[in-house]
Amino acid sequence: MKAKLTALFWSIAFLTIIATLIVSQKTQSSRAGTGVDMLLVISLDVSASVDANEYELMRAGLAKTFLSPDVAQAISAGSHGAIAIAVIQWSGFQEQEIKVDWLRLANALDLAQLAARISRMTRRYKGGATDIGGALEFSSELISSAPFSASRNVIDIVGDGPNNVNYSPERTRDKVLERGIIINALAVTGSYELLNTYFADLVIGGQNAFVESAADYDGFERAIHRKLLREIGNLNLF
């Protein structure tokens, strides 16, 4: 009887160990499936300062960038070989909307699907004010609710002018930085020659944060391409 109980005990113990290993393996596989090298929110200014032609240049330039082979190569070089991206549009107070929800990008097909969605992306706001702090807060919350996990979380603020509604953006910036989120910016300077300095002083922050710039929307595609390569590789390429 005692021998039978001992055998039963070891059988149960063995099965428990096997079950634990199976659960652990499933958990690790699940985490691997949701892990990415970076969460990136691209936050596009569509306020009154952006006219219809400029919006089209911005949309087309962003879509084309994701079809670039060197962007795909930069993504594949990461430890997970994948990043996740969401795209929002923003304007004035409480004017923010998700235009492309989170997508995991790991291969050319994923990138082509993202480019196609951006190419079809309609404009949400016209004629509104510029609330950079609101865009930062909305983007930060979007990262917090992402279905993927990453060691590096980044917000891309794309804009062509300073904040002109609600409070100054550095107040929200500081809160976002406390959450471990990096903020970079792309300044389309136009006639506002000091926009790079404005973004550097009041908007960006975090490890290796930077401001990319374009003189106008004709140069947007080149600027966003350079910017994405720096962000994906976490490198100072230029």
Q: What is the pLDDT of residue 220?
A: 98
Name the CA dihedral angle for 199, 193, 49, 123, rounded to a multiple of 10 degrees: -60
Task: Please check whether residue 238 lies inside any domain of the structure.
Answer: no
Question: Residue 142's CB: how many other CB atoms inside 10 A?
Answer: 19
Cβ atoms of residues 168 and 56 within 8 Å: no
Are residues 11 and 43 located together in one domain of the fold?
no
Q: How many C-beta neighbours within 10 Å does residue 10 have? A: 10
Amino acid at 15: L
Answer whether 183's CB lies under 8 Å from 199's CB: no
Quick one: pLDDT at residue 191?
A: 81
Does residue 178 lie in a domain region?
A: yes
Domain shared by 6 and 108, yes or no: no
Provide the whole-model pTM.
Answer: 0.85
pLDDT of residue 53: 97
Query: Does residue 161 fall inside a structural domain?
Result: yes
* pLDDT tens, position by position, 182-233: 999 999 999 888 999 999 999 999 999 999 999 999 999 999 999 999 999 8
The predicted-structure confidence for 50-79, as pLDDT tens digits, reads as follows: 999 999 999 999 999 999 999 999 999 999
Give the helix/strand (H/E) hosting 8: helix 2-34
pLDDT in tens, 143-196: 999 999 999 999 999 999 999 999 899 999 999 999 999 999 999 999 888 999
**Number of domains the chain contains:** 2
Question: Do 69 and 6 reside in the same domain of the chain?
Answer: no
Indicate if 110 and 211 belong to the same structural domain.
yes
Residues 67, 17 within the same domain:
no
Residues 7, 113 share a domain: no
Q: Which CATH number covers residue 207?
A: 3.40.50.410
In a domain, 23, yes or no: yes
The answer to whether residues 114 and 183 belong to one domain is yes
Looking at residue 187, the DSSP 8-state letter turns out to be: E
Residues 115 and 29 in one domain: no
- Residues 229, 203 share a domain: yes
Shared domain for 31 and 41, answered yes or no, is: no
Helix (H) or strand (E) holding 73: helix 69-76
> Same domain for 24 and 139?
no
- What percent of the chain has a predicted confidence (pLDDT) above 70? 84
Q: What's the angle, vertex CA 80, arms to CA 64 and CA 104, rounded to 5?
A: 45
Read off the pLDDT of each residue in 90-111 and give the average, rounded to a whole number.
97
With contact defined as beta carbons under 8 Å apart, do 43 and 173 qualify?
A: no
The mean of the pLDDT values for the chain is 87
Provide the 3-class DSSP secondary structure of residue 12.
Answer: helix
Buried-exposed string 24-37: b where 16+ CB fall within 10 A, e elsewhere:
eeeeeeeeeeebbb
- Sign for the CA dihedral angle at 42, 169, 54, 50 comes to positive
Please state, in angstroms and as integers, the Cα–Cα distance from residue 116 to each residue in 119, 136, 229, following that order. Answer: 5, 26, 20
- What is the span of the domain harbouring residue 83? 37-233
Q: At what angle do helices 52-65 and 108-119 cross, to 10 degrees?
A: 170
195 and 120 in a common domain: yes
